[in-house]
Amino acid sequence: MRAVLRGCIAVLLALATPLSHASSDLIFAAGFESYYGFAVSTPVIAAPPGTSATYCYYFRSPNAATLGIKRWASTMTAAVHHLILFATYDDGWSPAERQPPGTLVQIPCGFDEGGGNAAWMYAAHEPSNALVLPSDDGSGTPLAMEVAPAQPMFVQMYVRNAGNAPLSASAVLTADALAPADAYTKSATYVEANLTFSIPMQASGYGVQQTCATPAGAKFWWLSTRTHQFAMQSSILDTAAPLVVSNDWQHPAIATYGPPAFYSFSPSGMTYQCIYNNPIGAPIHAGESEDSNESCIGVGYFFPAVRPSLCIDNLGPQ
């Protein structure tokens, strides 16, 4: 079955020259308006009633030159609860492959295996979603996220079918890029993740909190959080001031900032906080499973950036 899934379509389109916007072109039907960029379709996954599973689909971006991405967008079928796009690197932040292109696996997806880094690029919690980078960094230059040539990437998808009828799960992602000659200020993500906590059995209102310094000179234009189903609330704070407070793990709250009011954290750093209820008779540990593990993650998009940045269990930025 896995071999069949690996053989399913993976539409990777590198747009090196302008294309016409035909109404029948499915890539453009959801509002993708790029003359430069790429698109990727995941394999179609069968989701019978009762399905609850997380998949990762690995691919390489098809661009032959570095792209400055100004807009991410996605569409996903009803069986896909949410998705996250990651780019993968070695320990020195050079592009590095985790799995051969076309590989589809269920978790674990290798976040903790073999070293290296996985950089958050984009996430979606709605059937149709887009993230548009600010077109002005305060001096008139647009922001863009860089994708290296043949960048190894993967899409993590939580597939869930709580109904009575079979469903199919798949997603299409598009990367809308600036023209090659366009100047831009590089933006990237800063992810803070607590990977070592446990929620005691039958705990109510159990809190997890950590604080990380932010990259030097970082200006943030987007902030949000990531948890799983046992979270009652997740927040990002600067000192004691809340910037993001989310009470719905399925649709995490977002804070956005733009010129001239991009956000810079105080020297005390960026605090991320999660509060959980554990109704079961066993501890819940940090991990990848949406059903049996939890996560506590703060994520922000910042500039100027040299590369993505991480803070893992208070160790960072790195």
pLDDT band of residue 107 (cuts 50, 70, 90) is confident
Residue of 153, 6, 14 lying closest to 85 (CA atoms)? 153
Burial state string for 162-176 with b = 16 or more CB within 10 A and e = fewer than 16: eeeeebebbbbbbbb
Residue range 11-56, pLDDT digits in tens: 333 333 222 222 223 333 334 444 689 999 999 999 999 999 999 9
CATH 2.60.120.310 in the chain, residues? Answer: 2-184
Distance separating alpha carbons of residues 229 and 186, to the nearest angstrom? 34
Distance separating alpha carbons of residues 28 and 24, to the nearest angstrom? 8
Tokens 């590989």, located at residue: 103
By 3-state DSSP, what share of the chain in percent is helix, strand and coil, each rounded to 5? Answer: 5, 45, 50
Which residue would you say has higher pLDDT here, 98 or 12? 98
CATH classification of 188-312, choosing from 2.60.120.230, 3.40.50.180, 3.30.2020.10, 3.40.50.300? 2.60.120.230
CATH 2.60.120.230 in the chain, residues? Answer: 188-312
Collapsing DSSP to helix, strand or coil, 12 comes out as coil
Distance separating alpha carbons of residues 298 and 270, to the nearest angstrom? 9
Q: What pLDDT does 200 receive? A: 98
Sequence-separated (6 or more) residues with CB below 8 Å from residue 128: 30, 74, 75
Per CATH, the architecture of 2-184 is what?
A: Sandwich (2.60)
